[in-house]
Amino acid sequence: MTSTYASASIIVVGSANQDYIVRVSTPPGLGETVLAKNLLKQPGGKGANQAVAAARLRGNVSFIASVGDDADGAFLLRELRSEGVDTTNVEIINRGRTGIALVSVYDSGENSITVVPGTNFALTVERVEQTILRLAQGKDNAVMVVQAELLTGIIETSILAAEKSGARSILNLAPYQPLRKEIIALCDPLVVNEVEASSLVGWPVFNAATAAQAIEQIRRFTRSVVITIGPEGASWADRQSSGHVPAPFVEEVVDTTGAGDAFVGALATFLAKGATLEEAVKVGVQAGTFAVRKPGAQSSYPTLSDLGLDETVAVAGPAKAMAKIQPLHELDRDLREK
Ligand code: RIB
């Protein structure tokens, strides 16, 4: 699958995991054993998910990562390639164990995740720096996306290399880990969910009102910031302005796994197309909301047409693309009437 229109390069530095997803009614308590209703084995990892989410929306994506020389690594690479993600810079580590994620999904659709990093921790500072500089060199409006299932040094190097090469850095600080102020200062935007935002500001962020307060605090330290708030949508701010984008209502939340990654992938694609932060957040909210209606991460991500967009609209520019996005409840109604 190749993109048929010009879009700035998106460089994703991140994790690739084999997800083992079990459905259980509620989280087991300490010392408790629960029986799962089923097990799904799916491609995952926040980095790979974001790369796929961006590519589904016809972003021009290169992925920088490491996988093991095992069956899981081969499977993840096949999936990424079939989505049109450039995997030339995914290193296969000799005798390495590909990252694994143990994901529990509850009746509410919410999840909890434990990651075994494996070869995600085999990325080296030298390789990441050289590859970003090479990929971003001479490209207008390149966008670099990195998340935090990686060693701190890799996250910092990615952002510094992007800065050096003139690329825009999106940092999805998931899971939360403390980073130096000078690194946070370069993010455009820093993207966190309520849990990560709470760790960042040191008090509970749990809805749109508290997210707005957290945004006011965080925006002084970075170029721009987005807080995703699940069913309440997302709040954003840059140096000049701020706003909130509500999420469309979803009748049945099936599985929230990777919904945040769908948001970040869509955000990256539309920022790479030249959208404003507000416009890109709107598409991100639509993509994240779409993703909660199906099981798994990558398997639940929308294409342009799923969001009521087409390629010509995407070429014409984000402002027009935005106008054509239908709220999900309208898409549902259209499907019912067909
Ligand atoms: O964000 C969802 C992802 O987190 C899963 O795919 C899992 O691999 C973990 O990285």
Ligand 1 centroid, distance to 298 Cα (angstroms): 10
**Residue 114 to residues 99, 128, 136, 336, Cα–Cα distance (Å):** 11, 25, 33, 38
Number of the ligand 1 atom closest to the C-alpha atom of 42:
6
Does some domain include residue 31? no
d(CA 272, CA 253): 30
- Output Rg (C-alpha) for the chain, integer angstroms: 19
Give the number of the atom of ligand 1 that is nearest the alpha carbon of residue 111.
2
With a cut of 70, say whether residue 298 has pLDDT above it. yes
Confirm or reject: Cβ of 113 under 6 Å from ligand 1.
Answer: yes
Q: What distance in angstroms lies between residue 241's CA and the mean position of ligand 1's atoms?
A: 31
296 lines ligand 1 (CB under 6 A): no
Cα three-residue angle 121-122-125, rounded to 5 degrees: 95
Question: How high is the mean pLDDT of the chain?
Answer: 91
The C-alpha atoms of residue 228 and residue 211 are separated, in whole angstroms, by: 8
Q: Would you say the CB of residue 288 lies under 6 angstroms from ligand 1? A: no
pLDDT band at 89 (very low <50, low <70, confident <90, very high): very high
The torsion angles phi and psi of 261, rounded to 5 degrees, stand at -70, -35
112 CA to middle of ligand 1, Å? 10
Q: Does the pLDDT value for residue 325 go beyond 60?
A: no
Helix/strand/coil for 40? strand
Report, as an integer, the average pLDDT of 299-322. Answer: 70
Asked if residue 275 is part of any domain, the answer here is yes
pLDDT category of residue 155 using cuts at 50, 70 and 90: very high
Instruction: Classify residue 2: in a domain, yes or no.
Output: no
**Residue 311's pLDDT band (boundaries 50, 70, 90)?**
low
CB count within 10 Å of CB 241 equals: 11
Q: Average pLDDT in the 88-93 region?
A: 98
Say how many Å lie between the CA of residue 80 and the centre of ligand 1.
15
| pLDDT for residue 141 | 83
Which contiguous run of DSSP H or E holds residue 225?
Answer: strand 224-228
pLDDT band at 313 (very low <50, low <70, confident <90, very high): very low
- Please give the distance, rounded to the nearest whole angstrom, from the Cα atom of residue 44 to the centre of ligand 1: 5
**pLDDT range class, residue 136, cuts 50, 70, 90:** very high
| Closest Cα to atom 7 of ligand 1 | 45
In a domain, 214, yes or no: yes
How much is the average pLDDT of 194-209?
97
Please choose from 75, 103, 300 the residue to mutate so as to test ligand 1's pocket, defined by most ligand atoms within 8 A of CB.
Answer: 103
User: Residue 139 above 70 pLDDT?
Assistant: yes
CA distance 180 to 168: 18
* Continuous segment of H or E residues that includes residue 23: strand 17-23
Q: Decide: 19 in ligand 1 pocket, CB within 6 A.
A: yes
Among the residue ranges 6-15, 138-147, 173-182, the one predicted with the least confidence is 6-15
For residue 159, the model assigns a pLDDT of 98
Ligand 1: atom nearest CA of 260 is: 1
Residue 63's H or E segment, with its range, is strand 60-68
Q: Which residue out of 80, 115, 301 has the highest number of ligand 1 atoms within 8 Å of its CB and is therefore the one to mutate?
A: 115
* 3-state secondary structure at position 200: helix
Can you give the CATH number for the domain in which 225 is found?
3.40.1190.20
196 CA distance to ligand 1 middle (Å)? 15
232-262 pLDDT per residue, tens: 999 999 999 999 999 999 999 999 999 999 9
Cis peptide before 189 (omega within 30 of 0): yes
With a 6 Å cutoff on the Cβ, whether 60 touches ligand 1 is no
The DSSP bridge partners found for residue 6 are none
Which domain, by its residues, includes 165?
A: 9-26+37-337
- Number of domains the chain contains: 1
* Ligand 1 pocket check for 54: Cβ under 6 Å: no
* Tokens, residue 1: 């699958």
Asked if residues 192 and 215 have their Cβ atoms less than 8 Å apart, the reply is no
Angle between helices 46-56 and 71-82 (to 10 degrees): 20
Question: Do 143 and 163 meet the contact criterion of CB atoms below 8 Å apart?
Answer: no
Does the CB atom of residue 45 touch ligand 1 within 6 A?
yes
Does the Cβ of 149 fall within 6 Å of ligand 1?
Answer: yes
- Closest atom, ligand 1, to C-alpha of 101: 8
Residues with a known catalytic role? 261
Please report whether residue 52 resides in a domain. Answer: yes
Q: Does 49 reside within a domain?
A: yes
Identify the helix (H) or strand (E) that includes residue 289.
Answer: helix 277-291
For residues 17 and 115, is the Cβ–Cβ distance under 8 A? yes
Q: Is the CB of 115 under 6 A from ligand 1?
A: yes
pLDDT surpasses 90 at 291: yes
Percent pLDDT > 90 in the chain is: 87
Q: Are strands 168-172 and 234-238 parallel, antiparallel or unpaired?
A: unpaired
Question: From its phi and psi, is residue 138 left (phi > 0), alpha (psi between -120 and 50) or beta?
Answer: left
What pLDDT sits at residue 7?
Answer: 61
Is 3 inside a domain boundary? no
- Average pLDDT for residues 28-51, to the nearest whole number? 96
State yes or no: pLDDT of 288 exceeds 50.
Answer: yes
Residue 172 has pLDDT above 70, yes or no: yes
Residue for token digits 């991100």? Answer: 284
Report if residue 4 sits inside a domain: no
Share of the chain above pLDDT 70, in %: 90
